[in-house]
Amino acid sequence: MKKTARVLVTYDCPRDCPNCCNNHIGEILEVEFDNLLKYEELVITGGEPMLPEIGPRVVEMIHRLRANGFTGHIWLYTAELNVKRWADKSVLSEVTGITYTLHYEYTQRDITLLRRLTEYLHTMDTTDMHNRLVIDSRLKDEFNWSDFNLDSWDCVRWLEWKDDECPVPENEELVFYDLEKE
């Protein structure tokens, strides 16, 4: 068993990124809740795990993990955090950190959410967190990024979109966890 589980909690996503990994990811091992407790750290991802109908269940999942003694790091990969929503604010106070992605085919709403989240991180005590912002490198010249006050992020990475590569890091196991399950 590997140290880290990359846990898909949904395949749903409103975006349509060309060559999304989920389109050719193949069959993924589905795990029960108790299996999650055996890993040293968890990376929650999707699809989009913070869709309004899914985010609250992700918060419940994290609460349940902690209530059952899981002490490892929990990371969240998302491209949609709306800090005006209860679940989205909650998740930020529960995880070790987030990786937040601004995709090439962004909407005005994505920009609003990014600005709002960035401001919100400024108001939080993030000393024990590690939050990473990933921006599609094709957007480098799209904005004056210095206006975004991005210093609340621990790291800003420019993503070179690759159409045919979805590597899972060597120390990670890719699994699916069904949030509907007891």
Write out the residues near ligand SF4 by the rule CB under 6 A.
13, 15-17, 20, 22, 46-48, 79, 103
> Is the Cβ of residue 70 or residue 114 nearer to ligand SF4 in the bound state?
114
Least Å distance, CB 122 to ligand SF4, is 25
The per-residue b/e assignment along 96-119, b for 16 or more CB within 10 angstroms, e otherwise, is bbbbbbbbeebeeebeebbeebbe
Select 13 or 28, whichever has its Cβ closest to ligand SF4.
13
Place of tokens 């991005």: 150
> For ligand SF4, which is the closer residue by CB, 20 or 54?
20
Is the CB of residue 150 less than 8 Å from the CB of residue 119?
A: no
- Structure tokens given for 107: 């909407």
H or E, element range at 78: strand 73-78
Residue 108 CB, shortest distance to ligand SF4, in Å, is 17
Residue closer to ligand SF4 by CB (options 12, 178) is: 12
* Nearest-approach distance from CB 23 to ligand SF4, in angstroms: 8
